[in-house]
Chain A
Amino acid sequence: MTDAPLIIGIGNPHRGDDGVGAAVVAGLIEKGIEAIAFDGDGMELMVLWEGQSHVIIIDATQSGVQAGTIQRFNAHEVVLPTNLFRHSTHQFGVAEAVEMARVLGELPRRLELIGVEGAVFSLGQGLSAHVKKSVATVVKSFD
């Protein structure tokens, strides 16, 4: 049993900068750091982090700041605006899942969120240049 955090990268690798979470996960795995990529409904996060005391989530944001901007949040310190991370009217996004867990008293003891601002989210696109750079920065921060 180790204290290693559960690292989850969120997003669809086929949709441009939405793939930032998966790209970070790939970078971490290359360095031998365990991490999982996930592109399902946000509510599944509560399933994934059940029983974990330290969780780190990486996802694309669309908050209107410069593409590639990295924002870090401690879920216990801030209430996440629901429109920060990408989501739809039908699915739960990361922010909804975090807030739901908070209401139900089921947040992991430590929950950190790393958002990388995306610019392009079209199907079949790769990561944009700014986001690519930020992927390297985020991956390096785990050293």
Chain B
Amino acid sequence: MAKSTSRKIKVDALSRVEGEGALDLHIQNGEIKDLKFRIFEPPRFFEALLEGRDFSEAPDITSRICGICPIAYQMSASQAMEDALGVQVTGPLRDLRRLIYAGEWIESHVLHAAMLHAPDFLGLDDAMQIAKANPELVKKALRLKKIGNDILDVVGGRAVHPVNLKVGGFFKAPMVERMSELIEPLKWAVDTARELALVFGGFDFPDFDYDYTCVSLRHPDEYAIHEGRIISNRGLDIAVSEFTDHFGEEHVAHSNALHGVSPGGPYLVGPIARYNNNFDQLSPLAQETAKESGLGKVVTNPFKSIVVRMIETLYACEEALRIVQAYQRPDASCVEIKSGKGTGYGCTEAPRGICYHSYSLNKKGLITSANIVPPTAQNQKQIEMDLRGVVEKSLNLDDESLKWRCEQTIRNYDPCISCATHFLNLRIKRD
């Protein structure tokens, strides 16, 4: 029941200096008077930094945008450059890219789901409390996450922030022996991801559903990770190069960040969007586990993203295992590339959703313009919509619980705050 009294609450999850994101919530007479969610994005700092640099530098520079998902940036940038310069990466090199991307999904998804999101559902303040309450679960999750890092190490040359990727492929193709060492751990990982999906599927989920406009890649032959056309569940089906014809970034007064908008309004990118659009392409085991975890073929409750992340983790482990088992070291570690003039587009499925890059190059192969749209910027408007809906249903909660519910709602998106901002403050006012 909505309260008729007026309340004013200030909640600072973190009181920080400049560059902070915030949720400001103002409730008056039991109704939302104002709700603003903002995440400050780098104000085109990196795009400016890229201008005048050689095309080959883009993967490394852009991977600095996000310390958490460097592969997404390296891969989207590489693809865009390859598109601009008219080359294609196929066969075993393409498989290696899919493998390392699967590694990033595994480590990113498991970290978020098990360590950052699960405490919300268990009534625990943070992962330390889970570690104390259930150290075996945490150790298992960390071991699973570590297998993602191991893939990054074997294929990318480093367990964090890989250095082996380049436009056209890799500096060096991994040795078969090292790849083989991943087989047994990955078999264990498939089982463990399934086990965690089932555990998380048993959580109590807050009652909230939304008819999302789901935007993701789709590939004709596989659950899209690093390649595909951009589609939506509303019938959109476009080439990556057409992205800016259909999606824009709306500059909103309360936020430095640019909210992603489509002509149809806010939209969702990330695990739920991918799952809803491409469920038919998940492996039989992933589909079966989804069902056993209580998921339908379409997920409309954003809190269930924690389960979807584990389904995608399971799938990523299966894919990684398949690629590792079939691996034969290619003769060349990359495709030959000649620098030159051109414009190219790249888009891949970062753990948090589509990450779009486009670049123009002059005849020397130097970057004359860059456009990068990270997933969290696109989800921002949708996060605000979710918060509005969730708060409306939760007005009877006391302030602390309401704040928690808001944080949990934001965490559904695993918002890559480091892409967009460093901190998040939550402020609730009731009067």
A residues bordering B, Cβ < 8 Å?
12-15, 18, 38-41, 43-44, 46-48, 62, 83, 86-92, 96, 99-100, 103-104, 120-124
Also in contact, A90 and B411, with CB within 8 A (given A104-B139, A121-B18): yes
Cβ proximity bits B382-422 to A, threshold 8 Å, 1 near / 0 not? 00000000000000000000000001001100111110011
B146 to chain A: closest residue by CB: A47
A103 to B126, CA, bound (A): 13
C-alpha gap A125/B85 in the complex (Å): 34
Q: Is the CB of B131 within 8 A of A124?
A: no
Q: Please, which residues of chain B bring their CB within 8 A of the CB of A92? A: 111, 115-116, 127
Using CB atoms, name the residue of chain A closest to B108: A41
Residues of the B chain whose Cβ atoms lie less than 8 Å from the Cβ of A38: 67, 160-161
- The docked-state distance in angstroms from the alpha carbon of A86 to that of B145 is 23
Indicate whether B294 reaches chain A with its CB closer than 8 angstroms. Answer: no
**Residues in chain B within 8 A of chain A (CB atoms):** 13-14, 16-19, 42-43, 45-46, 64, 67-68, 70, 111, 115-116, 126-128, 131-132, 135, 138-139, 142, 145-146, 149, 159-161, 407, 410-411, 414-418, 421-424
Q: Beyond A83-B14, A90-B411, is A40–B64 a contact (Cβ under 8 Å)?
A: no
Q: Is B417 in contact with A89, judged by CB distance below 8 angstroms?
A: yes
Subset of 8 A-B contacts with CB under 8 Å: A14-B45, A38-B67, A41-B111, A43-B145, A96-B126, A99-B128, A100-B138, A121-B19
Report yes or no: B135 in contact with A104, Cβ–Cβ below 8 A.
yes
Cβ-closest 5 pairs across A and B: A40-B67, A39-B67, A103-B131, A44-B160, A88-B417
Contact B19 A88 (CB under 8 A): no
Are B422 and A88 in touch, CB under 8 angstroms?
yes
B43 and A123 within 8 A (CB): yes
A15-B422, A104-B131, A104-B138 known; A90+B67 contact, CB < 8 A = no
CB pair B422 A41 closer than 8 Å = no
Known: A40-B68, A47-B149, A47-B159. A62 touches B17 (CB 8 A): yes
Could you say which residues of chain A place their CB within 8 Å of the CB of B159? 44, 47-48
Q: Which residues of B contact A83 (CB under 8 A)?
A: 14
Whether B160 and A40, one on each chain, are in contact in the complex, defined by CB atoms closer than 8 angstroms, is yes
- Evaluate contact between A90 and B64: CB separation under 8 angstroms: no
User: Contacts of B410 on A, CB cut-off 8 Å?
Assistant: 89
Cβ contact of B18, chosen from A48, A90, A91, A122, cutoff 8 A = A122
Q: Is A90's CB under 8 angstroms from B424's CB?
A: yes
Q: Are A14 and B417 in contact (CB under 8 A)?
A: no
* Contact, CB under 8 Å: A88 / B42: no
List residues of chain A with CB within 8 A of the CB of B414. 90
A40 to B133, CA, bound (A): 27
In the bound complex, CA of A86 to CA of B421 (Å): 12
Bound form: Cα–Cα A122–B161 in Å:
23
Contact between chains at B68 and A123 (CB < 8 Å): no
Residues of B within 8 A of A44 (CB): 149, 159-160
Considering the chains assembled together, what is the distance between the CA atoms of A25 and B196 in angstroms?
A: 38
Q: Say whether A89 contacts B407, CB under 8 Å.
A: yes
Contact in complex: A91, B142 (CB < 8 Å): no
CA distance A121 to B415 in the complex (A): 20
A61 to chain B, nearest CB (A): 12
Known contacts: A39-B64, A46-B142. The answer to whether A103 contacts B17 by CB under 8 A is: no
9 additional contacts, CB 8 Å, given A40-B67, A43-B145?
A38-B161, A39-B67, A40-B68, A44-B149, A48-B159, A89-B13, A90-B116, A90-B414, A122-B19
Contact between chains at B415 and A12 (CB < 8 Å): no
Task: Tell me the complex Cα distance, A114–B424, Å.
Answer: 25
Give Cα A104 to B417, complex, Å. Answer: 27
Across the interface, do A100 and B422 meet the contact criterion of CB distance under 8 Å? no
- Give, as a whole number of angstroms, the nearest-CB distance from B367 to chain A: 17
A20 to B154, CA, bound (A): 30
Residues of B contacting A99 with CB < 8 Å? 128
Q: Which residues of A contact B131 (CB under 8 A)?
A: 100, 103-104
B415 shortest CB reach to chain A, Å: 6
Q: Which residue of B lies closest to A43 (CB)?
A: B111
Contacts of B161 in A (CB 8 A): 38-40
A104 / chain B contacts, CB cutoff of 8 Å: 131, 135, 138-139, 142
Contact in complex: B417, A90 (CB < 8 Å): yes
Q: Identify which of A13, A38, A83, A89 gathers the most chain B CB atoms within 10 Å of its CB.
A: A89
B68: which of A91, A100, A124 is its contact (CB, 8 Å)?
A91
Given A15-B19, A100-B127, CB of A86 within 8 Å of CB of B142: no
Smallest CB separation, B61 vs chain A (Å): 10
Given A43-B111, A83-B14: A88 in contact with B146 (beta carbons within 8 A):
no
- Are A123 and B19 closer than 8 Å at their CB atoms? yes
- Shortest A114–chain B CB gap in Å is 20
Residues of A close to B149: CB separation below 8 A: 44, 47
By CB atoms of chain B within 10 A, which of A40, A46, A86 has the most?
Answer: A40
